[in-house]
């Protein structure tokens, strides 16, 4: 199988010749490339070269294109901090009311955002290289509807509003707008050349909100997002940080074809809940990959490979973004072990 065929086979629920590997490594790749995060996020050429060089260095099956968790929020008028040496972040305290955010979002067209333009140019440049070199390109569309709403309002204020019955109408209106914007970003990423898209909805996980909150404010909009993407033939992946065990069956009902859980979610439970519904990406612990030695990394990789070998259902990699100082030796161990035993 080619590398692109290998990942597409997993996405389609088939059994590949071996388990494919993809790593969430933009922070690490920038450090290895010798560029600051300010330089990285400001240039399509730098983004493309940084991630392509890392793909060649570690010989992965695919590239995950990402820049930070504030890309969509910045395009939607959020207050964002742009440090030179770490990824951009939305401010915990936002200056606009929910009502003002809803009004402003109605006027948002992502094609007018300078940051989104750079990002889409990077996708286009990388897609040319990826197609010529048989590398699968996952173009991350940043945030899902729930998490985008959280970033725009500010984490603390958003969580408080979820418990206020008087805010329910506003929150539903907010989710309608963030759904529209998320869909536009998926369209743009796919049109620019991504083989698939992905999105993060980490604030809807059970480490942040209750299953009841997720079912009321998160699940309906995530389901609509995935119904529309499926209708348009756009494969995607949802990433959720933290603990997701109590909502695994709910996630299976959203129609998302692939989920990426981090190490706090029980991968065996996730596999069982997903049978016939979704496949998995991950879920090696980034902290382990950052601090362990190669022998411990190989052991963790082997344990995960043993669960899925010969069955399909997995694209192996870290369950969340690798830290910038993750040892390259550990990533080589991950890739080489997968190629030998996957």
Quote the pLDDT of residue 118: 98
Quote the pLDDT of residue 20: 98
Output DSSP code: residue 236: -
Quote the pLDDT of residue 236: 98
The Cα angle at residue 48 between residues 180 and 125, in degrees rounded to 5: 70
For 303-336, the pLDDT digits (tens) are 999 999 999 999 999 999 999 999 999 999 999 9
3-state secondary structure of 318: strand
The Cα angle at residue 283 between residues 281 and 287, in degrees rounded to 5: 140
What is the spatial distance between Cα 214 and Cα 175, in angstroms, rounded to a whole number?
A: 12
Q: What is the mean pLDDT of the chain?
A: 98
Give the helix ranges, DSSP H, for the chain.
Answer: 3-11, 26-33, 37-41, 44-58, 71-75, 98-105, 114-132, 145-153, 155-162, 168-192, 211-213, 219-231, 248-252, 267-274, 286-291, 294-308, 328-341
> What average pLDDT score do residues 97-117 get?
98
Per-residue pLDDT band at 224 (split at 50, 70, 90): very high
313: tokens are 């259902």
For 239-269, the pLDDT digits (tens) are 999 999 999 999 999 999 999 999 999 999 9
3-state secondary structure of 88: coil
Choosing among 3.20.20.210, 3.40.50.970, 3.50.50.60, 3.40.1190.20, the CATH entry for 3-7+16-236+246-253+269-274 is 3.20.20.210
């Amino acid at each position: 199988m080619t590398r692109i065929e290998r990942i597409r086979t997993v996405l389609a629920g088939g059994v590949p010749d071996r388990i494919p590997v993809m790593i969430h490594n933009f922070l690490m790749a920038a450090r290895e490339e010798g560029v600051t995060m300010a330089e990285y996020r400001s240039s399509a050429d730098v983004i493309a070269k940084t991630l392509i060089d890392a793909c060649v260095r570690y010989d992965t099956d695919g590239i995950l294109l990402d820049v930070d968790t504030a890309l969509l929020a910045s395009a939607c008028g959020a207050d964002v901090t742009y440090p030179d040496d770490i990824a951009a972040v939305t401010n915990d305290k936002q200056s606009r009311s929910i009502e003002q955010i809803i009004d402003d979002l109605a006027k948002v067209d992502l094609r007018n955002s300078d940051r989104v333009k750079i990002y889409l140019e990077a996708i286009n440049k990388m897609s040319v290289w990826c197609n010529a070199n048989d590398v699968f390109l996952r173009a991350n569309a940043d945030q899902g509807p729930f998490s985008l709403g959280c970033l725009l309002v500010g984490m603390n204020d958003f969580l408080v509003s979820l418990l206020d019955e008087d805010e329910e109408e506003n929150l539903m209106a907010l989710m309608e707008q963030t759904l529209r914007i998320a869909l536009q970003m998926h369209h743009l990423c796919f049109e620019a050349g991504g083989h698939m898209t992905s999105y993060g909805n980490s604030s809807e996980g059970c480490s942040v909100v209750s299953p009841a909150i997720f079912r009321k404010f998160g699940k309906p909009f995530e389901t609509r997002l995935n119904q529309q993407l499926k209708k348009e033939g756009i494969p995607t992946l949802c990433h959720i940080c933290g603990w997701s065990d109590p909502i695994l069956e709910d996630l299976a009902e959203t129609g998302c074809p692939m989920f990426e859980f981090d190490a706090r979610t029980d991968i065996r439970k996730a596999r069982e809940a997903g049978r016939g519904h979704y496949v998995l990406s991950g879920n090696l612990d980034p902290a382990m990959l950052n601090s362990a030695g190669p022998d411990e990394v190989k052991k963790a990789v082997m344990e995960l490979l043993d669960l899925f070998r010969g069955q399909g259902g997995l694209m192996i990699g870290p369950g969340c973004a690798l830290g910038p100082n993750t040892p390259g030796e550990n990533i080589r161990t991950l890739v080489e072990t997968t190629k030998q035993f996957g």
